[in-house]
Structure 1
Amino acid sequence: MSLRFADILQGLMDNRGLSSRAVSRASGRAESTILQLTHGAILPSPELVRDIAPVLQIPQADLLVIAGIAAPPPTASAPYRNPAEIGELVSITTSLSDEQLRELIDLAHHLKSEDRN
């Protein structure tokens, strides 16, 4: 089952233009973990699926099915406030130039400082 998941995971990443580093940074998982998943060296866990699904812009339930994992009971809080939007943002940023990325980071810092006021 892990090789099938590995192939699908790699396909999803390729389709979205995401590197293992981008998925790692956005999911909070080590890049080595993402690489092991894409090579079928480790089996996906519900926790891994929960963390990478938003980055891949795929519902967690769908990725659990692909991984052959029964859905865990719902939890009181999600790891992110808006996982779909965060995943979309990460996907978009992978195609930005260095200058555009810097501008986006500056804008995010500006928005965060406005939120505090």
Structure 2
Amino acid sequence: MAESPFGVRLWRLLSQRRPTFDTSIEQMRAVLARDADVSGRELAAVIRDGVVPGPDLVRKLAPVLGIHTADLFVIAGLPVPGDLASAWPMAPWDVGTVLRHVIRMTTDERRQLQALIGSLPTPPGTEPAPSYDDYPDTPAALLLRLLRNRNIRASTARLLKEVGDGPYVSEATIFGLGRGRVVITPQYVTAFAHLLGYLPSDMVALTGIGPVVEDARVHPASSEIAALAWQARRLSTEQLDTVIAAAQSIRQT
């Protein structure tokens, strides 16, 4: 039986978050089990032995770890349940289309758009998003799947550059990351962290690719941009049409 990637990812995350150098992973694991109200034995089996976590365990761990529950399913290598899944796959627009307008907005303009998105009814849950990729289980594939969990396609080279100071590359290069044809570097990981709304140190831990690029020229509103992307991830095609039209109008006024 293949081991789950979740154990190693969670181990690295707990290691990175240790409050002191002397704090052991076993202590971190015990605190996590207590705070999440889960079995210490079950959690140890996942971290130490690579046992595939159950959906209930993932749902309980997510809020304690401070990670979106839907994202933690992706990090655990599990299908995202229908009640949490993004609207992906979608055409012709995706949330990345919205962000291309948002990165040029002022603070007040972003707030207007956020208010509009917040006023739209949440579409009902869908079936779990199908796994259309055949990517190997790599750090780069994890990053692209987290993008998809925001209904953002892999064609994000410009967004990565402008939000997180990613490398100046083509869209085809970003697709190549998932298939292992392009080497994932710390610059990519740091840029993805800012676009996805993660602390770069946490993303380095989850992927195992670092260190953090401390001097990255990050968009001053990167956190707000990432939050807006998450807010819009379940919008329907018709709702995205409305939001994109509003974004265009807001920027022209």
Are 2:188 and 1:55 equivalent residues in the alignment? no
Q: 2:159 aligns with which of 19, 26, 48?
A: 26
**Counterpart Cα distance in 2 of 1:108 and 1:93:** 18
Query: How far apart are 1:56 and its partner, in Å?
Result: 1.8
Matched ranges for 1:59-98 at <5 A = 59-72=199-212, 74-75=214-215, 78-92=217-231, 95=235, 96-98=239-241
Query: How far apart are 1:35 and its partner, in Å?
Result: 0.6
Q: Which residue type is aligned with residue 148 of structure 2?
A: D
Q: Secondary structure in 1 aligned to 2:149?
A: helix
Give the superposed CA RMSD: 2.7
| % identical equivalent positions | 21
Q: Which residue type is aligned with residue 89 of structure 1?
A: L
Are 2:147 and 1:13 equivalent residues in the alignment? yes
Query: How far apart are 1:88 and its partner, in Å?
Result: 2.6
Structure 1: runs of 5 or more not aligned: 111-117
Structure 2: runs of 5 or more not aligned: 1-135, 162-168
Normalising by structure 1, we get a TM-score of: 0.68
**Counterpart Cα distance in 1 of 2:229 and 2:178:** 19
What is the number of residues matched between the two proteins? 107
**Counterpart Cα distance in 2 of 1:47 and 1:73:** 6
The structure with the largest alpha-carbon Rg is: 2
**Counterpart Cα distance in 1 of 2:230 and 2:218:** 18
**Counterpart Cα distance in 1 of 2:219 and 2:187:** 13
**Counterpart Cα distance in 1 of 2:207 and 2:199:** 13
Q: Which has the higher helix share?
A: 1
Q: Secondary structure in 1 aligned to 2:183?
A: coil
